[in-house]
């Protein structure tokens, strides 16, 4: 019995040391189960709260991403729009620079020193080099319109990435716009320098024409008129040294060469024993022509005259281009120059020529009236009526003489 009690006592002790989870429900329920039930009820608010918080955060992130993207897209759109004028200006300025540089280089072909001096040639070459350098710098700046922002993403991380990309593109576009404006200003300055220098060159060339024409006075009418027209064209292009201006200078150079070649040819045709007398007779005719442009032909016989002390002349005239005329004279006039009869005959022919200016003073369509006009005009220079042509055409009326004397 003692032995058995000892065992029971041990069992009681052992049971006291058994963990609560091994005890029966009736012994542990008041202490354990209520605690377990309370803990399970408190987890749901935390889960729901976490879900709500996550939802709010996701929603906030979505809103933030959308706003960030929209702001970046708006800024890029504004930068894209504001960059258009600078791009357009630079493109136009680049084209202007190319035209100006081409014009400046093309006039290097001008050979007449009076039109394009060595000093001006050197200065224009230096200014062209400056423009070419500025043009090369501008080449590195893009002028292609930037692409639009594109379709808007949906998920936040893509919105943020696209927003960041647009922000960078906006900054780059602003920088490019600044570069375009600076390049356009630099090019415009270089172009203006060439315009100013080119304008001086064109003006100097045009002002040299009267002296060139005077030195080539024996040239035919056609090349002299071409020279004058070329000078007028140069005058119209002096303000902007572009392709048209360069072409006008090159054409003026060609006109000068043509006038000089014509004068040389005419003088060669007049060579011979009568050379000096012919030129003196022509010079006299020009001195009283009132600005009508004259050219001359010389011949041995004309209208059955030319032998001995006989002489003859003819004149055709045109009122266009300030008045032009072709006078043909017999060599006998040069042979007896400056006898009074030769001078009066030449004056009579110039009287026909000057009709180009004063044809409204008489009936220019009537042949006899034309001859009386020429006679009266020669008389107005102090020649006798007989020497002036009255022996063939009659003495002109006092009214005709007065009108002719007023035509200078």
On the question of pLDDT at 209 being above 80, the answer is: yes
Distance CA 301, CA 292 (A): 26
Question: Beta-carbon neighbour count of residue 264 at 10 Å?
Answer: 13
Question: Beta-carbon neighbour count of residue 214 at 10 Å?
Answer: 8
On the question of pLDDT at 300 being above 90, the answer is: yes
On the question of pLDDT at 56 being above 70, the answer is: no
Residue 278 and residue 298 in contact, taking contact as beta carbons nearer than 8 Å: yes
Of 362 and 80, the one with more pLDDT: 362
Supply the DSSP string of 123-161, one letter for each residue: HHHHHHHHHHHHHHHHHTS--SPPPP--S---SHHHHHH
Angle between helices 243-269 and 33-106 (to 10 degrees): 10
Residue 313 and residue 327 in contact, taking contact as beta carbons nearer than 8 Å: yes
Mean pLDDT in residue range 193-221: 97
Cα separation values, 319 from 15, 230, 233, 287, 323, Å = 149, 20, 21, 19, 4
Extract the tokens encoding 402: 């007065």
Extract the tokens encoding 86: 């600078």
Extract the tokens encoding 127: 């200014």
pLDDT band at 47 (very low <50, low <70, confident <90, very high): low
On the question of pLDDT at 66 being above 90, the answer is: no
Residue 245 and residue 103 in contact, taking contact as beta carbons nearer than 8 Å: yes
Distance CA 257, CA 238 (A): 21
Q: Give one word for 307, left, alpha or beta, with left for phi > 0 and alpha for psi -120 to 50.
A: beta
pLDDT band at 231 (very low <50, low <70, confident <90, very high): very high
pLDDT, tens digit, 9 for 90 and up, residues 120-165: 999 999 999 999 999 999 988 988 888 777 778 778 888 888 888 8
Distance CA 160, CA 37 (A): 46
Of 352 and 157, the one with more pLDDT: 352
Extract the tokens encoding 229: 């027209």
Residue 364 and residue 336 in contact, taking contact as beta carbons nearer than 8 Å: no
**Using CB atoms within 10 A of its CB, is residue 352 exposed (0-12), middle (13-18) or buried (19+)?**
buried
Q: For 294, phi and psi rounded to 5 degrees? A: -110, 145
Distance CA 185, CA 187 (A): 5
């Amino acid at each position: 019995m003692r032995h058995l009690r000892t065992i029971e006592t041990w069992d009681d002790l052992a049971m006291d040391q058994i963990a609560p989870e091994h005890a029966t429900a009736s012994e542990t329920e008041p202490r354990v189960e209520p605690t377990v039930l309370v803990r399970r009820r408190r987890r749901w608010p935390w889960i729901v709260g976490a879900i709500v918080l996550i939802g709010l955060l996701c929603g906030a992130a979505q809103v933030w991403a959308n706003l960030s993207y929209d702001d970046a897209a708006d800024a890029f759109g504004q930068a894209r729009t504001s960059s258009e004028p600078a791009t357009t200006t630079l493109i136009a300025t680049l084209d202007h620079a190319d035209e100006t540089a081409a014009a400046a280089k093309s006039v290097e072909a001008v050979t007449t020193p009076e039109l394009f001096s060595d000093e001006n040639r050197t200065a224009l070459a230096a200014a062209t080099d400056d423009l070419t350098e500025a043009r090369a710098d501008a080449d590195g700046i893009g002028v292609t319109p930037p692409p639009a922002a594109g379709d808007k993403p949906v998920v936040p991380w893509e919105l943020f990435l696209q927003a960041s990309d647009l922000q960078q593109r906006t900054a780059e576009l602003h920088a490019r716009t600044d570069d375009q404006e600076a390049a356009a200003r630099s090019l415009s300055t270089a172009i203006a320098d060439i315009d100013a220098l080119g304008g001086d060159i064109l003006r100097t060339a045009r002002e040299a024409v009267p002296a060139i024409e005077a030195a080539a006075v024996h040239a035919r009418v056609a090349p002299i008129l071409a020279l004058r027209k070329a000078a007028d064209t140069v005058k119209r292009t002096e303000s902007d040294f572009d392709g048209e201006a360069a072409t006008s200078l090159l054409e003026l150079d060609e006109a000068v060469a043509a006038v000089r070649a014509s004068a040389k040819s005419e003088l060669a045709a007049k060579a011979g024993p009568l050379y000096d007398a012919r030129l003196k007779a022509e010079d006299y005719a020009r001195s009283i022509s009132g600005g009508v442009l004259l050219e001359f032909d010389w011949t041995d016989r004309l209208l059955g005259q030319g032998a001995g002390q006989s002489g003859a002349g003819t004149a055709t005239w045109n009122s266009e281009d300030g008045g032009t005329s072709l006078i043909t004279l017999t060599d006998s006039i040069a042979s007896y120059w400056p006898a009074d009869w030769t001078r009066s005959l030449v004056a009579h022919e110039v009287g026909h020529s000057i009709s180009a200016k004063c044809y409204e003073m008489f009936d220019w369509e009537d042949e006899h009236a034309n001859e009386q006009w020429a006679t009266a005009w020669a008389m107005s220079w102090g020649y006798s009526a007989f020497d002036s042509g009255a022996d063939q055409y009659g003495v002109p009326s006092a009214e005709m003489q007065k009108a002719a004397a007023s035509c200078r």
